Structures are given as C-alpha cells and as structure tokens.
Amino acid sequence: MSDVVLQDITHRYDSEDVLKHVSLTIPHGAFFTLLGPSGCGKTTLLRVLAGFIVPSAGRVSIGGKDITDLPCEKRNMGVVFQNYALFPNMTVRDNIAYGLKVRGLRRNEREARTKRYLALAGLEDYAGRHVQELSGGQQQRVAVARALAIEPDMLLLDEPMSNLDVGLRARMREEIRAIQRQTGVTTLFITHDQQEALSISDLVAVMNEGEVLQVGTPEEVYNHPGNAFVANFVGTANAIDGLQLRPEQLALTQAGRGGTTVRIEQVSFTGPSYEYLVVDERNGSRYTVLEKNLGQGCTWSVGDVCDLVQDAQGRTDTP
C-alpha cells in the first residue's frame, strides 16, 4: 500500500516557522482533509507534498520511498489550485489533454483518456468551449478532470470550491467525492469550512499556527475534540465542567428542575433548528443550545428564564 507519510516537517519562510514538526500519515486511497483557519499553513503543506517547495526539515515518503527532494514534475500528482489555474486560451478538451501531451502520451491514448475524463466530470457537451465561456462550477470541474486525467498517484485539492455558492458547492463536493470513490485515488483536500470537512472526508487533520492538533475521522474530531481549539473550530462548543458539549447535546427545561438557571439572550433561526444564546447570570458564562425546528415555532423567547440541562435526545421541554 502506498501510504503518504510526512515526518516531522518544519518549514521556515524568512524568520518564521509556518510549519512546525508536522507528522501525518495519509492512508492509500483515503480522502484526507486539512482543516484550519487562514494562514495556518495548509497551502504550504500542500506545496511540500506536491514538490513545489523542499521543507526546511523533515521527510516525505510514498509507499516507503523517500520523495522529499524529488522535483514536482516527477511526482505524478494532480493538483487543483485555489484559483483553478486553467489555460484561458485553450478549450476544455485541450486543458484536460495538456498534461498528457507534456507526459508524451501517444495521440490515441491521449484522446481516449481525455474523452474518459470529460465524461467522468460531465463535461462532454463543453469539450470545444474555451474555459472563459464556462461558469465557475464548470471551470472547477475542468480543473478536477485535468488533474485526474494524468491518472495521478495523488490528488491535491486546495480549496477548489471557495468561489461557489452554497448549493453548487454541495453538489461539487458530492461530485468530487464520487469521482474519488470511482478512481480510488488518494486525495488531500484543503478547506477552512468545517461542515465541508466533516461531510466529505475519511480523515480530518485540524491545523492551527503551523501545527497539526488532531487527526481523526469526522466523528472523532467532532465528538471527541482533543482540545478547546479543535472543539471550537470544528463546530460550536460549550465548556461545561471540563467537558466540551455541543449545542445539540444541551437542552432547556422549565426553571427549578435542577439544571443551571439561565436567561435567553438571543434566538436565531437557522432553518433546521433554533439556536439560543443563553447566559448564566451568576457568573456571566454563555452557552449555545439548539432546538430542532418542528414547524411550530421556538419554545423560548428572549428574556425567558429556564434551566440548562444535558440532553442526549436534543429535545427541549415545553415551559
């Protein structure tokens, strides 16, 4: 199996370490996501993997073979950059075929493969168009098809959907995941959107300030965050008695039933649920609590006093 292993990677720009002792294993065939705030080092890590930069320290290997010093053109990795970086003066077909030409594939093979990846990305009808005649979402698919067409050992996707609206983004995400499942290519995906990371990944690595804080399945990092940063970055967290509890793990009940007495400060409607911001007036602590939207309005209003309790069912009693 060709697992990708990053071992104690440190990278320094000027006088600042932007990657600090990063060690990660990306299992063969996995959809692996780097999740972290802007400037935490995600793109730098991708550039180390792709071979655009040699890290100041540490090693990169694939299937046990050290590739730290191997130049990018010898790595056989398909990269989708944040801005897609398509060739604007070429057609969709030529964009996809470009990497195959560079690699010296024969014409027959080039045409067959281009056709296959045009179809996989649902772009057959657009093959002859110039890329500036496409929508953002279509361009994004060209970029993914172009990266896949070289049949890379690894696919590196740097926030490929950052410019799309919510609906298109969700569709694209499903498409990328489906293509990845079909081809089985090991994929590194970068995002700072926690919903996206949780819904698409086999494994998520949460990064901050050049460090990897936790690696796990989406459920592991969401349900068992290793520290407060992970808890807050991968969703909303309430720190209660040393536990990090999610808004859906709390409920509000009639005052005087033995919970923590709180006052409702804000109610916001998010569609599937209502989100209450409540305050414990004895110490000023604030908590976020979710209530499922059952189509009958929310139970509590601003100013109401009630009790905060843990509720595995995520339900709220009527007052």
Ligand X SMILES: Nc1ncnc2c1ncn2[C@@H]1O[C@H](COP(=O)(O)OP(=O)(O)OP(=O)(O)O)[C@@H](O)[C@H]1O
To the nearest whole angstrom, how small is the minimum distance from the Cβ of residue 46 to ligand X?
A: 8
Asked if 154 and 78 count as a contact pair (C-beta separation under 8 A), the reply is yes
316 lies in the site for Mg ion, by CB under 5 A:
no
Spell out the long-range contacts of 128-133 with Cβ–Cβ below 8 A and sequence spacing 24 or more. Answer: 128/91, 128/92, 128/93, 129/91, 129/92, 130/88, 130/89, 130/90, 130/91, 130/92, 131/86, 131/87, 131/88, 131/90, 131/91, 131/92, 131/95, 132/88
> In this structure, are residues 221 and 214 in contact, taking their beta carbons and an 8 Å threshold?
yes
Binding-site partner at residue 41 among ligand X, Mg ion, none, CB < 5 to 8 Å by type: ligand X
Q: Tally Cβ neighbours within 10 Å of residue 121.
A: 24
201 binds Mg ion (CB under 5 A): no
Nearer to ligand X, 121 or 204 (CB): 204
Q: Which does 39 bind (CB under 5 to 8 A by kind): Mg ion, ligand X, none?
A: ligand X
**Least distance to ligand X, CB of residue 6, Å:** 14
44 binds Mg ion (CB under 5 A): no
* Residue number with CB closer to Mg ion (192 or 246): 192
Q: Which residue among 31, 34, 43, 155 contacts Mg ion (CB under 5 A)?
A: 43
Which of ligand X, Mg ion, none does 55 bind, CB closer than 5 to 8 A by kind? none
**Contact set with ligand X (CB under 6 A):** 13-14, 18, 36, 38-44, 192
* Smallest gap from residue 173 Cβ to ligand X (A): 17
| DSSP designation for 36 | -
Q: Give the chain's radius of gyration (CA, Å).
A: 24
Binding site for Mg ion (CB under 5 A): 43
